[in-house]
Chains A and B, each alone.
Chain A
Amino acid sequence: MTGHLRSWPIVLALSVASAPLVLMYVYLFVDTVTNAPPGSFVPNEFTLEHWSFLWHTPRGRPSIWRVTLNSLLFATSTAALVVVISSMAGYVLSRLNVPARGFFLAGVMVLHAFPAITLIVAIFLVLQVVGLYNTLIGVILVKAAIDMPLGIWLMKGFYDTVPWEIEMAGIQDGASRFTVWRKLVLPQVKPGIFALALFAFLLGWGEFILPQVLAPGGDVQVLSVYLASLIADDNNFDMALFKSVGLFYMAPVLILFFFFQGHLMNIYGGGTKG
Chain B
Amino acid sequence: MTASRDIARDGPAPVTARAVSARGLASWLNSSKGLGLVLLAPAMVLVVLFFLVPVVVTGLIAFTNMSTATGITGGAYQVSPSALRVLTDQHGMGALAERLGQPTYTVDEQGLATLEEMGIEPGIVAGLRERHLGETYSSRREFERAIRALPERPATRTVKRISAAFSRSLANERFASAGALIAAAEAVEPDLDAAEKQALVEATYTGWTWTSENFRRLATSRDTERVFFNTLFFVATTLVLFNTGYAMVLAIATHYIPERAAGIFRIIWFLPRISPVVIYVLLWKWLAWDTGFLSALLSNFGVRPRNWMLDSATNAWVFVILINGFVGASMGMVIFASAIKAIPQSLFHAAAVDGAYRWQQIRHIILPHLKWPILFVTCYQTLSLLTSIDQTLLSTDGGPGGATEIWSLWIYHTALNNYAGNLQYGYGAAMALVLVVIGITLSLLYLRLFNYNALIIKPRIEH
Judge A-B direct contact (beta carbons within 8 Å): yes
A residues with a Cβ closer than 8 A to B are: 1-2, 5, 7, 10-11, 13-14, 18, 20-25, 27-28, 31, 39-41, 84-86, 88-89, 91-92, 95-99, 101-102, 104-107, 109-126, 128-129, 141-142, 144-146, 148, 152, 164, 167-168, 171, 176-178, 181, 202, 205-206, 208-209, 213, 223-224, 227-228, 231, 239, 242-243, 246-247, 249-250, 253, 257, 261, 264-266, 268-270, 272
Residue among B258, B275, B444 making CB contact with A206, cutoff 8 Å: B275
- Chain A nearest CB: distance from B423 CB in Å? 9
- Chain B nearest CB: distance from A206 CB in Å? 4
What 14 additional pairs, Cβ within 8 angstroms, besides A2-B361, A21-B268, A21-B271? A10-B256, A27-B293, A92-B36, A116-B51, A118-B439, A121-B61, A121-B416, A121-B432, A142-B50, A168-B461, A178-B30, A239-B286, A268-B331, A269-B333
Residue among B61, B256, B334, B442 making CB contact with A268, cutoff 8 Å: B334
Mask of B44-58 contacts with A, CB within 8 angstroms, 1/0: 001101110111011
Residue among B31, B285, B429, B456 making CB contact with A122, cutoff 8 Å: B429
Cα–Cα, bound, A254→B254 (Å): 22
Cα–Cα, bound, A101→B107 (Å): 75
Cα–Cα, bound, A256→B253 (Å): 27
Cα–Cα, bound, A148→B383 (Å): 18
B102 contacts chain A at the CB level, 8 A cutoff: no
Give 15 CB contacts A-B under 8 Å.
Answer: A1-B345, A2-B256, A39-B299, A104-B40, A111-B47, A123-B54, A125-B57, A126-B53, A146-B50, A152-B43, A178-B35, A206-B276, A266-B334, A268-B330, A269-B330
Across the A-B interface, give the 4 residue pairs with the lowest CB-CB distance, nearest first: A269-B334, A98-B36, A145-B50, A206-B276
Cα–Cα, bound, A129→B72 (Å): 8
Cα–Cα, bound, A265→B459 (Å): 30
- Chain B nearest CB: distance from A253 CB in Å? 6
Cα–Cα, bound, A264→B66 (Å): 42
Tell me whether A126 and B57 are in contact in the complex, defined as CB-CB below 8 angstroms, given that A21-B272, A249-B279 are known contacts.
yes
| Contacting residues, chain A, for B268 (C-beta < 8 A) | 18, 21-22
Is there contact, CB below 8 Å, between A97 and B463? yes
Cα–Cα, bound, A145→B51 (Å): 8
Is there contact, CB below 8 Å, between A24 and B284? yes
Is there contact, CB below 8 Å, between A96 and B32? yes
Residue among A89, A114, A119 making CB contact with B443, cutoff 8 Å: A114
Binds A, one of B113-121, B225-233, B385-393: B385-393
Tell me whether A121 and B58 are in contact in the complex, defined as CB-CB below 8 angstroms, given that A141-B50, A250-B276, A268-B330 are known contacts.
yes
Is there contact, CB below 8 Å, between A118 and B447? no
Residue among B54, B349, B390 making CB contact with A1, cutoff 8 Å: B349
Cα–Cα, bound, A164→B268 (Å): 40
The number of chain B residues touching the other chain, given as a range, is: 35 or more
Is there contact, CB below 8 Å, between A21 and B439? no
Count of A-B residue pairs with CB < 8 Å: 307
| Contacting residues, chain A, for B50 (C-beta < 8 A) | 116, 119, 123, 141-142, 145-146
Is there contact, CB below 8 Å, between B277 and A208? yes
Nearest to A242 among chain B residues (CB) is: B282
Cα–Cα, bound, A268→B265 (Å): 16
Mask of B374-398 contacts with A, CB within 8 angstroms, 1/0: 0010011001101101100110000
| Contacting residues, chain A, for B175 (C-beta < 8 A) | none
Is there contact, CB below 8 Å, between A10 and B257? yes
| Contacting residues, chain A, for B282 (C-beta < 8 A) | 227, 231, 242-243, 246
- Chain A nearest CB: distance from B386 CB in Å? 7
- Chain A nearest CB: distance from B12 CB in Å? 9
Nearest to A101 among chain B residues (CB) is: B456
Residue among B39, B43, B452 making CB contact with A106, cutoff 8 Å: B452
Q: Give the one of B30, B408, B459 with max A CB within 10 A.
A: B459
Cα–Cα, bound, A127→B218 (Å): 26
B17 contacts chain A at the CB level, 8 A cutoff: no
Residue among B33, B73, B293, B333 making CB contact with A99, cutoff 8 Å: B33
Mask of B327-353 contacts with A, CB within 8 angstroms, 1/0: 000110111001000000100110010
B42 contacts chain A at the CB level, 8 A cutoff: yes
B267 contacts chain A at the CB level, 8 A cutoff: yes
| Contacting residues, chain A, for B291 (C-beta < 8 A) | 239
Residue among B37, B61, B389, B460 making CB contact with A125, cutoff 8 Å: B61
Is there contact, CB below 8 Å, between A253 and B276? yes
Is there contact, CB below 8 Å, between B326 and A122? no
Tell me whether A206 and B39 are in contact in the complex, defined as CB-CB below 8 angstroms, given that A25-B271, A39-B296, A176-B29 are known contacts.
no
Is there contact, CB below 8 Å, between A246 and B278? yes
Is there contact, CB below 8 Å, between B416 and A120? yes
Nearest to A130 among chain B residues (CB) is: B49
Is there contact, CB below 8 Å, between B274 and A115? no
- Chain B nearest CB: distance from A268 CB in Å? 6
Is there contact, CB below 8 Å, between A224 and B256? no
